[in-house]
Structure 1
């Protein structure tokens, strides 16, 4: 018995130790009970969290305030053109006519009822109807047009008009957020968002004087003449055209910058026409290939391909073949940009011209004339 008791004691100790180990182990691997409390989303958002990602102070969650500010001043424009079916082979019946309708957008500039839109929206219209966001409609009168920039000014006789605030577009930067407001496809007033993709776009092939803002904000048929605004709700451009093979928006839209539009609008309202400077020349930009053929290296300029007799350049002594290097000591970088800058010069002003003739550097002064209307 004693031997058995001696042998049993270590076994009993072993069992007790094993039980203690199992109990201890169970405490280690058993999850600690937790109380799950229902927390709604607003509490999660309002509770501060350590190392929380900070939101940029310029981050905007909504552009509703900008839209509310600008949208009432953006109008729908409906035009009707009369087409006459004149069958001259039969004396009867008399020629019949029918009206064809199209649409666009416009922006109210002031309380006097002046509205800016694209010239192509109202070109050859027999009747123009302007529809406001508040439901009012009015017939519009054409005050002036400028096909060179594709701008037109209309006027309506209504009171208590909403007016848009205009901001100089020169301060815009590539990457700035913009909103396009218009009436695409006659669905009613619509807002789309994008950024300024590029500035000073020329050679688009739309107008004589091109200096477009490029944006990826969706611009569709019916948006023409509508507002391109910044995030403060101020007008920075007039939506004008899209580059598209399908007819729909492909993310390449063009708007006339407000800085250019302002000058045109003032001219049209005050004079009914746009007054531009004119040299009376036809130019061809000096390409690297042409420069090489002339034996010129690292030279930019404009070759005079034509000089109108008795025009400003002719009277200043310029000749066909002269190579213009600078206007008013500003070197020629882009032919279109340089001629656009001349167009903005007030007629009667003097412009200094640096040019090459047969390899000789010369200078002359031109008395800028007024560009003929045709």
Structure 2
């Protein structure tokens, strides 16, 4: 009896020590098109759908919402509040590379405490969030599954209006749904109330892109990904949008390498020029991005750009707003020369600018130029100097005041402040949360001169 117990203990210990598989095997191969299907039915759209469906995934997220505390007087039993609630939602994505990289939309995973990826064979795998770019509504996930079959990547540079496209995803949780349409327009700027921002340079299509379809691929008739679907307009009928794959490629590479998007620095602050604004300023260009500030020592200064210049095109692509200009500069690698079409004093001209990596202390230089502040680390970010005649001096800021936030994001160190300001170089203004005593004041500092 004693020997049997010992043998049983050894068996249990051996099972407990058995190594757990590091990655799950995913079977992505789809069923072959039956040979009985005629050539007439085997259309290009059928072939595209058949080939890409195994690479399209379902994104399942969980978010825990903390509910208000129970009121012992009005709600003693907690019928109306208290505790936490977990909400689940569904979206789409697709395999970007063989080593487990999955691409989806930022709004699909935003606020999630847990993210899972469900493959076409039903395999469910936990996913790790690598990085997000809210400005382009992109998110990158990694799953511990190897030798995955990625969706073939194409280019969005030569897309044509009227060209047939195929959208694949999981609308309303219906896995593997395929819709078709055409490219309706290119370079669309789309304001989104739900996301609280304006998205730029999007592909517009009449292929149905519904809730749950977000994050899936938009493909051309050759079966290559030309965009990433995003359902950012909740009430849109017959209008869908997608992020161009060429733009997404640079952003995804940055997220994988750095965990964030690293935009090349030009050093020009711009604002959208409208026909009304152009008339008021006496400018002939009626659309574009007007330069309101050029930072000393920047690539823009080296290229000879001046305040008042209106940028109307980047690399031959029309610029109709500050957001469009920021979008184009986001995708340009550092050091690569870019041709800008600029209107100066009513005459168009071409200016070549070579974007660069931003200086490490650029944020602190911006703080001095636009706000007249120098800071130090002292139990937080504390104002050390206020320049005479600066906006900060006029507001009444003093040494000893503490900066606790930038553009609504909390900061705890000078390094945090510097990085937050570097990431805000394309904004028209900066909002600093300044603490004095028991009060915090939100102060706006325009980037323009």
Superposition TM-score, scaled by structure 2 size: 0.59
CA separation in 2, counterparts of 1:60 and 1:218?
22
CA separation in 2, counterparts of 1:165 and 1:81?
32
More RCO (CA 8 Å, sep 6+):
1
Aligned match for 1:79, one of 50, 57, 61 = 61
Aligned match for 1:149, one of 136, 140, 160 = 136
Aligned match for 2:89, one of 84, 93, 102 = 102
Per the alignment, residue 230 of structure 2 pairs with 240
CA contact (8 A) 1:332 1:338 kept: no
CA separation in 2, counterparts of 1:114 and 1:192?
25
Rg bigger for which structure? 1
Helix, strand or coil for the counterpart of 2:92?
strand
1:296 deviates by 3.9
Per the alignment, residue 237 of structure 2 pairs with 250
CA contact (8 A) 2:333 2:355 kept: no
Whether 2:304 is the aligned partner of 1:322: answer no
Helix, strand or coil for the counterpart of 2:248?
helix
CA contact (8 A) 1:194 1:215 kept: yes
- Where structure 1 has 5 or more consecutive residues not aligned to the other structure, the ranges are 1-56
1:62 deviates by 5.8
| Cα deviation code 1:153-205 (max 9, x no counterpart) | 10111244232111112222111211111111112221111111111112444
Distance verdict in 2 for CA 1:214–1:88, change over 3 Å: same
Distance verdict in 2 for CA 1:326–1:333, change over 3 Å: closer
Alignment RMSD: 3.9
CA contact (8 A) 2:63 2:112 kept: yes
CA contact (8 A) 2:314 2:325 kept: no
Distance verdict in 2 for CA 1:221–1:83, change over 3 Å: same
- Where structure 2 has 5 or more consecutive residues not aligned to the other structure, the ranges are 1-38, 359-420, 425-449
Superposition TM-score, scaled by structure 1 size: 0.70
| Cα deviation code 1:91-133 (max 9, x no counterpart) | 9999622211011000011221100000110011100111111
Per the alignment, residue 210 of structure 1 pairs with 200
Distance verdict in 2 for CA 1:198–1:366, change over 3 Å: closer
CA separation in 2, counterparts of 1:85 and 1:171?
50
Per the alignment, residue 278 of structure 2 pairs with 291
How many residue pairs are counted as aligned between the two chains? 313
Distance verdict in 2 for CA 1:95–1:298, change over 3 Å: closer
Aligned match for 1:65, one of 24, 33, 47 = 47
CA contact (8 A) 1:356 1:362 kept: no
